[in-house]
Amino acid sequence: MARRKTIPSSLDEPPAGLVRLWAPWRRTYVEAAGRLKLKCIFCFGRLSEVSRRERLIVYRGRLASVMLNRYPYNNGHLMVAPRRHVASPELLSPRERAVISELIAEAVTHLRAVYRPDGFNLGANLGRSAGAAGVADHMHWHVTPRWDGDTNYMPVVAGTRVVSELLEESFTRLSPLFKAVQLTIP
């Protein structure tokens, strides 16, 4: 199936605990990375509902956003990023840090409710030597659900088409939950 023309998601290597997951659909993206000039996927202005769905943005706030990783390491793999294009957490304002921290907690809450995972990998890669690539200069946190034995799970459903369907479904299930988010930080 021809891949819909969309903006590529993060190329990042996963946080350390994820390296054993096999995600063969990522190879297409990683191979293309050297040839493509990637736009920053975390920088965007006003978006229609259609664009938001195409970009897999489940939450768009004034200071931070949450989106599904188009090349996920596992079902429900989310990324939380500041709206500002900054490369490292010390460049964030205290308020941005607080909002991101809340959104990571929201992501865990909603992923638990929807997917009932056995655990999570939470983390960020700063700099290419730490595994960041593609959009390395716009930092973001990975929130990846894990299941017992999931190193064997994703290859069962491997394939661009299946992953694309999973992403559509994930967006449909998670987006309404994030719409209801009321941050305690204004």
Active-site residues, by number, are 140
Residue (7 or 98) nearer to Zn ion, CB: 7
Which residue stretch of 17-25, 31-39, 136-144, 175-183 sits at the interface with Zn ion (rule: CB under 5 A)?
Answer: 136-144
Binding test (CB under 5 A) with Zn ion, winner from 44, 60, 61, 85? 85
Our finding on whether 113 is near Zn ion (CB under 5 A) is: no
What is the total residue count of the chain? Answer: 186
Our finding on whether 43 is near Zn ion (CB under 5 A) is: yes
Our finding on whether 71 is near Zn ion (CB under 5 A) is: no
Instruction: Write down the residue that tokens 């190329």 correspond to.
Output: 11
- Cα-Cα-Cα-Cα torsion 186, 136, 169, 109, nearest 10 degrees, comes to -40
Query: Contact, 11 vs 30, CB < 8 A?
Result: yes
Q: Residue 97 class from Cβ within 10 Å (0-12 exposed, 13-18 middle, 19+ buried)?
A: middle
Our finding on whether 91 is near Zn ion (CB under 5 A) is: no
Binding site for Zn ion (CB under 5 A): 40, 42-43, 85, 138
